[in-house]
A and B are shown apart, each in its own frame.
Chain A
Amino acid sequence: MATGTDPRSATAAGVPAQGGVHHPSRATIPARHLRADRWWLAPAVTAAGLFAFVVYSTWRAFANDDYYAAPYVSPFYSPCIAQNCVPMKGGADWHVFGAWWGLSPALLILIFPLGFRLTCYYYRKAYYRGFWASPPACAVAEPHAKYTGETRFPLILQNVHRYFFYFAVIVAGILTYDTALGFRNARGEWGHMGLGTLVLLANIALIWAYTLSCHSCRHIVGGRIRTFSKHPVRYRMWGWVSALNARHMQLAWASLISVAVADFYVYLVASGVFDDPRFF
């Protein structure tokens, strides 16, 4: 007597244990999905947005020009750690890499924010869905014959997200320093504020919000604790991070755009398209 708790064998009647919604045990429905709404819109917009950013950032990262317009430095080029960096007054230009480094100094540092975002739990969802169609949308069959998720190389490396988070905190700290320097004028005197200052300020606020809303941060701050009541301070911090974390997707996009905008603003000023409007 079979009870409902005995699973049927997937390989019954010699059928190979393969296939998804068209597996012979399942309801015979020829369509891969029956969604009537515009399910493709979200992954398409995601893919387009990410693609646009990749194109823009590749151009700017390799450009190796127009990234400093005193007192503002593009977030793509900070900290600047090669000898070929333009000198920045009081800025984070430490010549760790010698003259042998001939490429854009951005490439040295962008690894970290790139890695942080590439392994971010939100971006993973975004590009798995948008670029890899795994799955393209909920209840829409994916085109791949095999799937092992994040169990093997290379995707098992997604587990290093936490270490990128640590680096991201350092980078965010340096960008905060850069933003502070935005309150000095081109001659290095305090008491300046221009539109660029505001742009950097908005950017660093969003960068921090995105960084702190990270799932790894949430875990480290308090999520790993089993008994919150024994750690009231960390519990409260966990509550704050959790509130931010609920907006992780929005913050991911907002900070991605703000980084590009900040860079583009510096580019425009540095390349002389217009002068930074000063408030005081």
Chain B
Amino acid sequence: MSYDAHFKVWRGDADGGSLVDYTVTVNEGEVVLDIIHRLQATEAADLAVRWNCKAGKCGSCSAEINGRPRLMCMTRMSLLDPAEPVVVTPMRAFPVVRDLVTDVSFNYAKAREVPSFVPPAGVGPGEYRMQQEDVGRSQEFRKCIECFLCQNTCHVVRDHEENKPVFAGPRFLMRVAELDMHPLDGAAEAGIDRKRGAQEDHGLGYCNITKCCTEVCPEHIKITDNALIPLKERAVDRKYDPLVWLGSKIRRRV
């Protein structure tokens, strides 16, 4: 059942690096992360890699396997052609730290820019009442394990470093959508317009809905269809609906 696989793993740091060849044993039922661990235990003790749960729940072991953004713990070796080399590189949208480890602080900075959940005024702990159908949409987005593969694959920042300051990325636009769809979020009462914010502060307009975020999501969240497009439609409600626009103009006059 075992065979020897040809691995090409990117080794290096911010000053440079290259793909290094390894030949390594693969056993039945193993995933790419197992092979990386075998390399660490045998011939590359200092091979840097992030990982935690090894069950697709924590989103730590994000990397690119044969050029595709994936979780290493959820990529079974049986899906890969044993005759072809397996190329493993760090995520290519973020600054590299060492080997397969990247600096993902971009994402933590963006997380801070999204206004938090605003508890509704006058509703105390234990008094929240929401129907299951009302929380379903937000719950889908809260399945996110923050592996940042969507952020990594999104060409808006992957291919254009200069867009990083103005674009929150799919994960955090989805966070805006999650809060905007939360049945008890009190943002509006507190003077926060999440719909407008999505467009003006978080760069929703940069998204051209080419759906790579949805394609790579290991949690199979329909990021584009259920979060980004509805958010765009909500922004249209605010900004491009002539009737709404006219109404707000008139109201402002009065």
Interface set of A (CB-CB < 8 Å, partner B): 4-8, 10, 17-21, 23, 25-29, 33-37, 121, 124-125, 128-129, 134-135, 138-142, 144, 146-151, 155-156, 159-162, 215-216, 218-219, 223-224, 226-229, 235, 245-246, 248
Closest Cβ of chain B to A161, distance in Å, is: 8
The 8 Å CB contact of B131, one of A4, A19, A216, A228, is: A228
Highest count of chain A CB atoms <10 Å: which of B92, B94, B237? B92
A8 cross-chain contacts in B, Cβ below 8 A: 95, 103, 105
> Which stretch, B21-29, B30-38, B204-212, touches the partner chain A?
B204-212
Interface size range on B against A: 35 or more
Q: Are A216 and B233 in contact (CB under 8 A)?
A: yes
- Nearest A residue (CB) for B90: A27
Across the interface, do B162 and A156 meet the contact criterion of CB distance under 8 Å? no
Looking across the interface, which residue of chain A has its beta carbon closest to that of B108? A5
B68 adjacent to A138 (CB under 8 Å): yes
Contact B109 A135 (CB under 8 A): no
Contact of B160 among A6, A7, A146, A229 (CB under 8 A): A146
A138 to B224, CA, bound (A): 14
Assembled-state Cα–Cα distance A160/B239 (Å): 11
Asked whether, in the complex, the Cβ of B161 is within 8 Å of the Cβ of A23, the reply is yes
The residues of A that contact B181 with a CB separation of less than 8 Å are 226
Question: How far, in whole Å, are A17 and B95 apart by their CA atoms in the complex?
Answer: 13
Contact A20 B16 (CB under 8 A): no
- B residues 53-97 in Cβ contact with A at 8 Å: 64, 66-69, 84, 87, 89-90, 92-96
Binds A, one of B39-47, B151-159, B168-176, B246-254: B151-159
| Contact of B68 with A10 in the complex, beta carbons under 8 Å | no
Which of B16, B66, B240 makes the CB contact (< 8 A) with A36? B66
A36 touches B67 (CB 8 A): yes
Q: List 23 A-B contacts (CB under 8 A).
A: A8-B103, A10-B164, A17-B162, A18-B161, A21-B158, A21-B159, A26-B94, A28-B12, A28-B16, A28-B18, A29-B92, A35-B66, A37-B66, A129-B210, A138-B216, A141-B158, A149-B203, A149-B205, A156-B205, A162-B241, A215-B229, A226-B134, A229-B131
Residues of chain A within 8 A (CB-CB) of B84 are: 36
CA distance A124 to B241 in the complex (A): 20
User: With an 8 A cutoff between CB atoms, is B6 at the interface?
Assistant: no
**In the complex the two chains form, what is the Cα distance from A171 to B81 in whole Å?**
50
- Measured CB to CB, the closest approach of chain B to A71, in angstroms, equals 39
Please determine whether A26 and B67 come into contact, CB atoms closer than 8 angstroms: no
The residue of chain B having its C-beta at the shortest distance from the C-beta of A20 within the complex is B159
Q: How far is the CB of A32 from chain B (nearest CB, A)?
A: 9
Q: Of all chain A residues, which has the CB nearest B66?
A: A36
Distance in Å from the Cβ of A259 to the closest Cβ of chain B?
23
**Which of B106, B155, B164 touches A142 (beta carbons < 8 Å)?**
B155
Instruction: Tell me the nearest residue of chain A to B84, going by C-beta.
Output: A36
Q: How far, in Å, is A136 (CB) from chain B's closest CB?
A: 9
Do A139 and B92 touch across chains, with their CB atoms under 8 A apart? yes
Taken residue by residue from 223 to 239, chain B's Cβ proximity to chain A (1 for < 8 Å, 0 otherwise) reads as 00100011011111101
- The reply to whether B210 and A125 contact each other, CB–CB distance below 8 Å, is yes
Residues of B within 8 A of A (CB): 10, 12, 14, 16-19, 64, 66-69, 84, 87, 89-90, 92-96, 102-106, 108-109, 131, 133-134, 153, 155-156, 158-164, 180-181, 183, 203, 205-212, 215-216, 225, 229-230, 232-237, 239-241
Instruction: List B contacts of A128 (CB < 8 A).
Output: 208-210
Q: Judging by beta carbons under 8 Å apart, are A34 and B229 in contact?
A: no
Interface class of chain B by DSSP:
mixed
A160 vs B102: C-alpha distance in the bound complex, in angstroms? 39
Which of A135, A159, A162, A228 lies in contact with B159, CB distance below 8 A? Answer: A135
Interfacial chain B residues near A149, Cβ < 8 Å: 156, 203, 205-208
Supplied contacts A34-B64, A151-B205, 13 more A-B pairs, CB within 8 Å: A4-B103, A4-B105, A10-B162, A19-B161, A23-B161, A25-B14, A25-B161, A28-B17, A35-B66, A36-B66, A124-B209, A141-B159, A216-B233
Chain A residue with Cβ nearest B163: A147
7 nearest A-B pairs in the assembled complex, by CB-CB distance: A34-B67, A20-B159, A35-B67, A151-B205, A149-B206, A138-B212, A219-B233
Q: Cβ of B207 and Cβ of A27 under 8 Å apart?
A: no
Bound Cα distance A160, B153 (Å): 27
Among candidates B68, B95, B109, B162, residue contacting A25 with C-beta atoms closer than 8 Å:
B95
Most buried by B among A27, A125, A134, A147: A27
Which residue on chain A has the smallest CB distance to residue B205?
A151
Residue of B nearest to A162 (CB): B236
User: Which residues of B have CB within 8 Å of A25?
Assistant: 14, 95-96, 161
Which A residues touch B108, using CB under 8 A?
4-5
Assembly CA distance A1 to B84 (angstroms): 44
Residue contact B133 to A228, C-beta cutoff 8 Å: yes
Asked whether B159 lies within 8 Å of A33 as measured between CB atoms, the reply is: no
